[in-house]
């Protein structure tokens, strides 16, 4: 494959903060960025050279967008697979639609990972209330009912404490195309981020220890203290196998539960990931620059830590109003995404601290 050289245009499907930080990382490498996003707030467009506002099924707009781009990526895994397939006929799309197809459906994702030797939570597919009740009888309560498609940040999920809650949970998540997961009694949660080049070379970041609140990432720390290093190595080896099996190009993030019996795979994101935001200041090469390097066929950068301890906290809702206090802290690096409405739970920014002690 010929490298896509600085000066070329990178197209990004999706206009959120991940696209914004990708565009900010592409600029120092000399790339132009063109953002394709549906109507509505698109904070990535504010830092891009060009934008297209159209729906993901608008083929005329997609064709014009592709004509302006040398390579296309996505910052949002719910882009329709058909959109990516349409664009792939016109320009390289990295990662391609294979990764999206697997990651967009929690069932195919689990089956794919199991076939590669990974462990997942026990699960049953659910289309009817009777199937949910049967699944609960087999897996036991508590359990988590999730939509197979289009869930994110804990949305499209219901925790079921006992069989008596089944009907309400079934109604609350939409009542079909569901998966019931047995509750994993984990000691901690962590993620592994791997970057892979078109010719297959990979690098991986140190494992990220993640704390979620209400299903949303709250805090990430590196190094992932307290998790068996052998379990982290096993999870990393699995993510590399996943990337190889998909012939993946770009940054791939996988989330795991740490248990005493080893890592349990939770889900993958075929894109840069919230648990990798710390890499902007905390790693020698950020996940965003690494993704740009990978999709353009440039050499990947080093992934070492720049401080003994790195901590990232998400700024959700009106907690972003704390920016004055954060700026007064010399260890802190503030990122605000430029979103207008600080709705509770909305990711408005993040803060990364580089600290002297692990």
Per CB under 6 A, residues contacting ligand AMP are 121, 144, 151, 154, 181, 183-184, 189, 212, 215, 255, 266-267
Angle ∠(351,356,358) on CA atoms, nearest 5:
90
Residues in CB range of 155: below 8 A, 6 or more apart: 215
Q: How far apart are CA 255 and CA 242, in angstroms?
A: 13
Parallel/antiparallel/unpaired status of strands 50-53 and 32-37: parallel
Q: How far apart are CA 25 and CA 19, in angstroms?
A: 10
Beta bridge partners of 188: 258
Q: How far apart are CA 12 and CA 37, in angstroms?
A: 8
Nearest approach, Cβ of 249 to ligand AMP (angstroms)? Answer: 24
SS3 244: helix
Nearest approach, Cβ of 351 to ligand AMP (angstroms)? Answer: 21
Between 46 and 153, name the residue whose CB sits nearer to ligand AMP.
153
Between 273 and 353, name the residue whose CB sits nearer to ligand AMP.
273
Between 267 and 289, name the residue whose CB sits nearer to ligand AMP.
267
DSSP annotation of 193 = E
Between 45 and 191, name the residue whose CB sits nearer to ligand AMP.
191
Between 15 and 182, name the residue whose CB sits nearer to ligand AMP.
182
Residues in CB range of 172: below 8 A, 6 or more apart: 158
Nearest approach, Cβ of 287 to ligand AMP (angstroms)? Answer: 18
Between 121 and 348, name the residue whose CB sits nearer to ligand AMP.
121
Nearest approach, Cβ of 189 to ligand AMP (angstroms)? Answer: 5
Nearest approach, Cβ of 285 to ligand AMP (angstroms)? Answer: 26
* Rounded alpha-carbon distances, angstroms, from residue 173 to 53, 133, 177: 30, 15, 10
Nearest approach, Cβ of 76 to ligand AMP (angstroms)? Answer: 15
């Amino acid at each position: 494959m010929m490298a896509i050289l600085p000066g070329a245009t990178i197209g990004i499907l999706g206009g959120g903060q991940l696209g914004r930080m990708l565009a900010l990382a592409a600029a120092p490498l000399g790339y132009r960025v063109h953002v394709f996003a549906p109507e509505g707030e698109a904070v990535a467009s504010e830092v891009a050279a060009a934008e297209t506002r159209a729906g993901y099924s608008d083929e005329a707009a997609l064709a014009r967008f592709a004509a302006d781009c040398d390579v296309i990526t996505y910052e949002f895994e719910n882009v329709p697979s058909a959109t990516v397939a349409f664009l792939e006929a016109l320009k390289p799309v990295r990662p391609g639609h294979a990764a999206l197809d697997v990651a967009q459906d929690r069932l195919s994702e689990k089956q794919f990972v199991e076939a590669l030797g990974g462990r997942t939570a026990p699960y049953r597919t659910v289309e009817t209330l009777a199937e949910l009740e049967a699944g609960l009888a087999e897996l036991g309560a508590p359990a988590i009912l999730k939509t197979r498609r289009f869930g994110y940040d804990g949305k499209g999920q219901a925790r079921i404490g006992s069989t008596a809650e089944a009907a309400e949970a079934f109604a609350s998540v939409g009542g079909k195309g569901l998966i019931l997961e047995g509750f994993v009694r984990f000691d901690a949660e962590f993620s592994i981020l791997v970057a892979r080049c078109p010719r297959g070379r990979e690098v991986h970041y140190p494992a990220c220890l993640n704390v979620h609140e209400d299903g949303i990432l709250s805090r990430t720390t590196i190094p992932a203290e307290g998790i068996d290093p052998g379990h982290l190595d096993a999870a990393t080896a699995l993510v590399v196998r996943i990337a190889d099996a998909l012939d993946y190009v770009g940054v791939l993030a996988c989330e795991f539960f740490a248990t005493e019996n080893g890592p349990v795979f939770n889900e993958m994101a075929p894109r840069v990931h919230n648990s990798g935001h710390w890499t902007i200041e905390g790693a020698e090469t950020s996940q965003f620059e690494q993704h740009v390097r990978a999709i353009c066929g440039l050499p990947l950068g080093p992934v070492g830590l720049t401080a003994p301890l790195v901590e990232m906290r998400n700024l959700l809702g009106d907690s972003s109003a704390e920016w004055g206090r954060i700026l007064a802290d010399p260890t802190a690096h503030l990122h605000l995404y430029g979103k207008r409405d600080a709705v509770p739970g909305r990711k408005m920014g993040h803060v990364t601290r580089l600290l002297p002690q692990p």
